[in-house]
Chain A
């Protein structure tokens, strides 16, 4: 890992940087070339580049140069019942950079009832002040009405947000009904957004939690016992059904279990536009620790959906990630200190949820998936960076090493081995869920916005340099297929003559009763005149409208008119 440069601190004046002798790894191919960067952009790629003199040069010695990772799911500085997660945007992005991630996408979580736009501004302010790397934002939709709809529209059009998360869990709080999901998805499909779901069946969870607590199970094991993986799989299945009805691209955050992953891969085989996001924790560890005798350790694993107690889960998820059934990886980094977790010491439902993982994500996937031969380096780049950039419509600015792309690069050392521990990690949390794990593969040099951030094991971050990267609507990666399908999906009615045979009496409503709008809509009566003459029981042309109880007196209790005057009506004898 030698580099030919002055030993100056890279908080540098010179914005120019040359990486020589690296092997560039994109998601489609790898090749040897030098990279020249200037002003945070990649300016040239090739051999024997002509560059200005005095440029700082890094000698890669044939090591891999990959696009910086994109962590598509973080919760830095998340407010929680008056406290905040321990890693703020500065600490969090620092940890991210240390692990080779040069961009994060955080979730804005508006309290139910509050304005999406205000929450968005609040998050922007926090992140702009503190973030050390570029960032973008998802916005969570925690309640649904017309004003929220308007705000979503504005966020998409003006604020650079193209992904919105809805919750199927957290009953009476964030949870949405199926009808609301349907409406949200319909709206997002119109406006070109990505629908993200937190997929768990909140109703059943609430019931199970009550049952666990009644049985006297109050420790963190109750968390996983009350959220069995079936509930996750069920919700994924339901979300896919709704998304497919509304023709909306779906993104399932935090795929934690085999069965949920299976459902996603099945749906993809059937052609649904759905993306699955396993997180560092589900790829790297399992839920057996919930039964740890050490309460604080057990509590540090609490996240939702929970880690699966099945120890073969991480391996399985890594396999699906390698085969492309799962598309992107995040960390869902959302750390709480032990004393914060202890809010739920007597009741697991009160334990704040979240695990670490932003720093470990790249190394962990390399170790679990690439060194085991499940995926190659190109696929590694795809799942850690490129696919995320495509879904967010940031490609090729992010997620690719190409001329014109942002100079977010990582020189990856495939041989480095380090042991993960809370003692050395960059997060402020006391526990690390990957404690003691030995991982192969780590970033040697991290370049973010054209500046060297990690070099020689030293991290040089600057709070507040991170820029907000707006994401535009209708990402091709998701919407090309959706658009084509929309054109095909036009439904057509069967042109029939009007039914003018006898109509039975009926009282109050049953069956679908799709509310007022439905009752009034069927007002098209195209071919009425043609056939009406044959039947003259009631002289007024009104009864073809939606039958209401008022119609009935006109037709004298016409219960059964088997042979109406003028012969059988046309409509029943056409075929």
Chain B
């Protein structure tokens, strides 16, 4: 895969330099294997018009119209004079291959990739010196500026996206959390407003389903069709607040499948958690250690297993947010082996640290680790999760960045169940994964790009606009320095909170230059962010990556009844109580439209108790047991 470097075997090294491969290499420079393959991998912007649509209203606040010559396809993007950028001599790393080429960007879009590009004069040029150039990270899970009981999580969209950019992440997807009782759309618009005014990088939004009724279903439809949302989160935890029952989850998943969206799940058994919380408080354990004691990892694995089951039943793609424990990850890996369409998202915290800190004597430090599901106290967990991430059993990474400062955490100083939940991680995500996975040899640089960016773009239907370096893609790039080392500390991080859960961790690898929307955001250690420059990126439903399989399966999954004659033997009398299930009114009325009763006439003559038709069972007088009906036994019992 790598064409540079001394250590590659000879047959790889010759690729692209020897005569057979050379012409092809020269032709396109990026998709060496097949000529012209760049056509298919380049964006068809008409097809993605919905994605672009979100941008115009996203930028009302800041942008005066652009002075630069506007390109044919992409809408105007910038207010800086120099929209043009050339990166020379970089090694481009996509999720499938790495190769050396130059990149020319204009108006926030990658215009050319190759060697000896013909570019306008006076373009700002960055020399990459052979360093890796990769698609900017996508943090699929953030909760910036999240309201919680009148408080707001410490990092707002400005602070949060700034931290993201400084870590090499050029797009975030935040969660809209509507309070139960509040309309999804108005919450969504609230979040849009917050993010549009403050975000420094492109963003998109997941919407959480915190209650369930008919109106929500309509709002979901509207969100998918008109607002570019294709993922919804349901909670199996937070009893009596956000938690949905299994039946509700089933219905939500059915709706999501029909809409072509992704079902995300916060997987913990809220019922058990509530019981355990009570028990532990009764025992007098009120500190943050109670948080993890009341949420053992089994409870997480159980909920993952349950949501996999429901997703299988409804043939709905499933996405587990915050995979925090070995057993939950195992359940996902097993389900994938059985063919379930399920994705697992470990977060920076679960990949980088463990839950032993809940027992810290320093209350504020212990409380800073409080998140749900909790970090596993098993110190081998991060390593295990990194391994599964590397082998593809887990696919995407988020940060679940939702920090609260110590004073906010102290709301729960006498009762761990009141501590606001969330950890930091959006800034550290890329470096932690590089350090834990690539440096240790668990994964290569391509897989690194896949789990930090490409897979997220594919799942949420942003690919190839995001998550890939290709002509036509957005100019969100990171020049990665694998040798940079840094010690993470609350003193130097970009978040506003007092504690960093990775405090003191030394990580190797970090962004040297970060380019977002074609502009240099990080260079030489200096961050140049612009509040409000982030655009909302709309996402279309039915992402191929997810729904190709689902569509094929739904064609196969048609069920058929067995065509039988009508049973017309004796029927026992039944007293009042309808048994067990009673599947609501819809079920009771439906058997009337029995489609096929083919052989009815043939045999009916033999039995003449009543001359009536199909529904003769109802008015029949109280025939308890007609063991030998006139005309002999009924046909139905003697067929087979």
Q: Roughly how many angstroms separate A347 CA and B592 CA in the complex, as a whole number?
A: 10
Judge whether A179 and B572 touch: CB under 8 Å. Answer: no
Q: Roughly how many angstroms separate A363 CA and B587 CA in the complex, as a whole number?
A: 41
Q: Chain B residues with Cβ under 8 A from A83's Cβ?
A: 572-574
Interface string of A554-575 (1 = CB under 8 A from B): 0000111100000000011111
| CB<8 Å pairs between A and B, sample of 23 | A179-B274, A207-B247, A209-B581, A216-B590, A242-B272, A245-B272, A295-B564, A295-B567, A296-B569, A339-B626, A342-B571, A349-B580, A349-B583, A491-B280, A491-B285, A496-B287, A499-B410, A501-B406, A503-B413, A504-B404, A518-B415, A518-B417, A522-B414
Q: Chain A residues with Cβ under 8 A from B310's Cβ?
A: 204
Q: Which residues of A422-439 have CB atoms within 8 Å of chain B's CB atoms? A: none
* Cβ of A225 under 8 Å from chain B: yes
* Cβ of A202 under 8 Å from chain B: yes
* Cβ of A201 under 8 Å from chain B: yes
* Cβ of B548 under 8 Å from chain A: no
Complex interface: stretch among B48-56, B116-124, B299-307, B473-481: B299-307
Interface string of B577-620 (1 = CB under 8 A from A): 11111111011101101110000000000000000000001000
Judge whether B362 and A571 touch: CB under 8 Å. Answer: yes
Q: Which residues of B201-252 have CB atoms within 8 Å of chain A's CB atoms? A: 238-241, 245-247, 250-251
Say yes or no: A342-B580 contact (C-beta < 8 A), given A293-B562, A514-B274, A518-B277. Answer: no
Q: Which residues of B284-307 have CB atoms within 8 Å of chain A's CB atoms? A: 284-287, 289-290, 293-294, 296, 298-299, 301-302, 305-306
Interface string of B246-283 (1 = CB under 8 A from A): 11001100000000000000000101111111101111
Complex interface: stretch among A52-60, A376-384, A451-459, A543-551: A543-551
Q: Roughly how many angstroms separate A83 CA and B625 CA in the complex, as a whole number?
A: 12
- Of the listed residues A209, A494, A503, A509, the one surrounded by the most CB atoms of chain B closer than 10 A to its CB is A494
CB within 8 A of A521: which of B241, B269, B274, B281?
B281
Judge whether B313 and A338 touch: CB under 8 Å. Answer: no
Q: Roughly how many angstroms separate A561 CA and B625 CA in the complex, as a whole number?
A: 83
Distance from B384 Cβ to chain A, minimum over Cβ atoms (Å): 16
Number of interface residues of A (CB under 8 A): 110
Q: Chain B residues with Cβ under 8 A from A228's Cβ?
A: 313
Judge whether B306 and A234 touch: CB under 8 Å. Answer: yes
* Cβ of B337 under 8 Å from chain A: no
Q: Roughly how many angstroms separate A237 CA and B409 CA in the complex, as a whole number?
A: 34
| Given A234-B305, A511-B241, A515-B274, 19 more pairs with CB closer than 8 A | A178-B271, A182-B271, A203-B246, A204-B247, A218-B594, A234-B306, A242-B272, A291-B562, A293-B640, A294-B564, A298-B562, A340-B572, A347-B591, A494-B361, A496-B361, A508-B150, A521-B281, A521-B284, A547-B418
Judge whether A493 and B284 touch: CB under 8 Å. Answer: yes
Using CB atoms, name the residue of chain B closest to A521. Answer: B281
Using CB atoms, name the residue of chain B closest to A351. Answer: B579
Distance from A42 Cβ to chain B, minimum over Cβ atoms (Å): 44
Q: Roughly how many angstroms separate A503 CA and B570 CA in the complex, as a whole number?
A: 73
Say yes or no: A208-B313 contact (C-beta < 8 A), given A213-B587, A241-B272, A572-B362. Answer: yes
Task: Return the 6 tightest CB-CB contacts between A and B, nearest first.
Answer: A82-B575, A178-B271, A294-B640, A507-B150, A512-B417, A203-B246
Q: Chain A residues with Cβ under 8 A from B289's Cβ?
A: 493-494
CB within 8 A of A207: which of B251, B566, B580?
B251
Judge whether B415 and A297 touch: CB under 8 Å. Answer: no
Using CB atoms, name the residue of chain B closest to A202. Answer: B581
Q: Chain B residues with Cβ under 8 A from A414's Cβ?
A: none
CB within 8 A of B151: which of A203, A298, A338, A504?
A504
Using CB atoms, name the residue of chain B closest to A349. Answer: B581
- Of the listed residues A174, A186, A241, A337, the one surrounded by the most CB atoms of chain B closer than 10 A to its CB is A241
Q: Which residues of B138-163 have CB atoms within 8 Å of chain A's CB atoms? A: 148-151
Q: Roughly how many angstroms separate A89 CA and B330 CA in the complex, as a whole number?
A: 47
Number of interface residues of B (CB under 8 A): 110
Q: Chain A residues with Cβ under 8 A from B245's Cβ?
A: 203
Using CB atoms, name the residue of chain A closest to B627. Answer: A339
Q: Chain B residues with Cβ under 8 A from A510's Cβ?
A: 148-149, 238, 241
Say yes or no: A512-B273 contact (C-beta < 8 A), given A204-B250, A245-B298, A294-B638. Answer: yes
Distance from B338 Cβ to chain A, minimum over Cβ atoms (Å): 9
Q: Roughly how many angstroms separate A242 CA and B284 CA in the complex, as a whole number?
A: 22
Q: Roughly how many angstroms separate A360 CA and B262 CA in the complex, as a whole number?
A: 49
Distance from B7 Cβ to chain A, minimum over Cβ atoms (Å): 42
Q: Roughly how many angstroms separate A210 CA and B274 CA in the complex, as a whole number?
A: 31
Judge whether A505 and B150 touch: CB under 8 Å. Answer: yes
Judge whether A221 and B149 touch: CB under 8 Å. Answer: no
Interface string of A17-38 (1 = CB under 8 A from B): 0000000000000000000000
Q: Chain A residues with Cβ under 8 A from B581's Cβ?
A: 170-173, 202, 205-206, 209, 349
Q: Roughly how many angstroms separate A575 CA and B579 CA in the complex, as a whole number?
A: 61
* Cβ of B38 under 8 Å from chain A: no
Judge whether A217 and B561 touch: CB under 8 Å. Answer: yes
Judge whether A499 and B363 touch: CB under 8 Å. Answer: yes
Say yes or no: A296-B636 contact (C-beta < 8 A), given A210-B583, A339-B571, A560-B407. Answer: yes
Interface string of A515-533 (1 = CB under 8 A from B): 1011101101000000000
- Of the listed residues A83, A216, A545, the one surrounded by the most CB atoms of chain B closer than 10 A to its CB is A216
Q: Chain A residues with Cβ under 8 A from B365's Cβ?
A: 572, 575
* Cβ of B559 under 8 Å from chain A: yes
Q: Roughly how many angstroms separate A294 CA and B569 CA in the complex, as a whole number?
A: 12
Judge whether B278 and A245 touch: CB under 8 Å. Answer: no
Say yes or no: A292-B640 contact (C-beta < 8 A), given A339-B571, A512-B277. Answer: yes
Say yes or no: A503-B587 contact (C-beta < 8 A), given A296-B636, A494-B361. Answer: no
